[in-house]
Amino acid sequence: MSPIKESFARLRYLFQLTRSASIARRYFVIGAFDGALTILGVIIGAYVAEANVDPELARQLIIGAGIAGGIALAVSSAVGAYEAERVEHILLHKHLEQAMLSTVEGHRREAMTVSILVSAIVHGVAPLLAAIVPLVPFFFMPLDEAVVTGIVITMIFLFVLGAFLGNLIRETFIYTGLRFVIAGLGTAIILILIGGHA
């Protein structure tokens, strides 16, 4: 086995040792959902506020605030997940040592570190991905088309996210996907109503 394959096999073993796959999956869903709704808010908020007054300013606001918001959300999510998982793993490790009446070292401690880092990375990447992808149309499309395309991309992202979860629990993926889309549409309607009265 090559050194790279050995490293991946070891990482997989350490990750499985703490049974952290479900935690990473949960962090991905939460982070991606946060990122999708955040960028939806930025797109609709800037468009409703400035599109009729200064379309170019609206575009710049959407791109600037979207990228900044995505990065801030990614850092916040990654640091929050890192600290939360670090504390939880330490508490769990101490509980295990108390139950065994001895110090637990070796693979267990290494596995804790891997689990914490993977959880933090997943929770940081997920919202950044969900926030940045819908911004791509704003670099090469007219504002009105970019807004519609960005919202559609966000809704597709939400549907795929929901469908993924539905598939995991053997629930009809369309049902779960549409639930996520409804949450996104509900958010969009609220933002438009608020913007219209502002």
Show the tokens assigned to 155. 């809704």
What pLDDT does 11 receive?
65
Query: pLDDT tens, 121-145?
Result: 988 999 999 999 999 999 999 999 9
Could you say which residues of the chain have pLDDT below 50? none
Cβ contacts of residue 113 below 8 Å, gap of 6+? none
What pLDDT does 112 receive?
77
**CA dist list (Å): 197 to 38, 164, 188:** 20, 37, 14
Helix (H, G, I), strand (E, B) or coil at 24: helix
What pLDDT does 194 receive?
80
Domain positions in the chain are: 3-197
What pLDDT does 93 receive?
62
What pLDDT does 151 receive?
93
Read off the pTM.
0.80
What pLDDT does 154 receive?
93
